Structure 1
């Protein structure tokens, strides 16, 4: 009696039972994916449909560009970084309108690098945001659209010590928030 097929079926049943229903690869353009962070604290962050973002629309590998949770990760970074900078009572509302991540896919390198984002200084990170910064009384301190870009993103970069794939975008966001609100407060680091 050959038990191999029965053991394989049992193993597959055990593995599939332990996998959550939503274990498929995350896709930022999924219509069921969130379009805002949950409302909490003094910073709210929302975003447009990522399928309209430059990073996806003009990607040389759209399938890789939509993979992951990078939009929500950047939104979370905006929130955390802004919360460290806002004085008590102030509020910041941010709408992410467009994102172009650092790097690009270069399919001419061949199939081995099809899914690799190549980082070069000619592919700087860019982001467009609309924001509203208010004080404790609701008075608008600043608002409008900002087109963020960091054309010098590779200068002083230390890729060996920072393995975060969104490090260039996060650095650009931090620079904008420092210009817009100020440096992180020492009591909120």
Structure 2
């Protein structure tokens, strides 16, 4: 009879340990987590250690900031958008040095809001990135580091019901590609 009572507890423990092990390997903070998108096309996107990103260190909830696949999603978006502006035969290398997503976690507001990202104008998106553009022969055409920010991100909101959690960061990247990068690389 005693074995029948401990079996469910043992099974629950094994399942919990398995869940922890499987989520730990997919964390963007894991030592073996990828630090770049797989090579494909003329634009490469890499990132430095996410544990050092402002997003992780000062967001108010490091665990919630590290959850999900948002870094990979943003890097994929950057690659796709940059490929559209890149002249034929050119290559572009992008490295995300630092990022702070729009909003912060404010766990002091209420216990049930500890995992809610609060969007306020005092928490704009920011990103530091390095870039290098090469022509078809491999000669460097442009390179540098840019500090992107969109302090008016709430005023520039285009759609009221937009549910993309990276909409502010994507708009900031679009603005950079449209104004700074496109004119600098021509």
The interval holding the TM-score normalised by the smaller chain is 0.7 to 0.9
Query: Which residue number corresponds to residue 50 of structure 2?
Result: 50
Structure 2 length normalisation: TM-score?
0.82
Report if aligned partners of 1:130, 1:143 keep a CA contact under 8 Å in 2: yes
Report if aligned partners of 1:28, 1:70 keep a CA contact under 8 Å in 2: no
Structure 2 unaligned blocks of 5 or more? none
| Alpha-carbon distance in 2 for matches of 1:131, 1:156 | 26
Structure 1 unaligned blocks of 5 or more? 183-189
Query: Which residue number corresponds to residue 182 of structure 2?
Result: 181
User: Helix, strand or coil: the match of 1:133?
Assistant: strand
Query: Which residue number corresponds to residue 163 of structure 1?
Result: 163
* Larger proportion of helix: 2
User: Helix, strand or coil: the match of 2:108?
Assistant: helix
| Alpha-carbon distance in 2 for matches of 1:166, 1:98 | 16
User: Helix, strand or coil: the match of 2:164?
Assistant: coil
User: Helix, strand or coil: the match of 1:24?
Assistant: helix
| Alpha-carbon distance in 2 for matches of 1:39, 1:55 | 26
Cα RMSD (Å): 2.5
| Alpha-carbon distance in 2 for matches of 1:158, 1:22 | 41
After superposition, give the CA deviation of every residue in 1:96-119 in whole Å (9 maximum; x if it has no partner). Answer: 100100000112211110000000
Q: How does 1:16-95 map to 2 (within 5 A)?
A: 24=23, 26-95=26-95
Query: Which residue number corresponds to residue 185 of structure 1?
Result: none
Per-residue deviation, 1:21: 10
Which stretch of the first structure deviates more once superposed, 63-72 or 131-140? 131-140
Structure 1 length normalisation: TM-score?
0.81
Relative contact order, higher structure (CA 8 A, sep 6+): 1
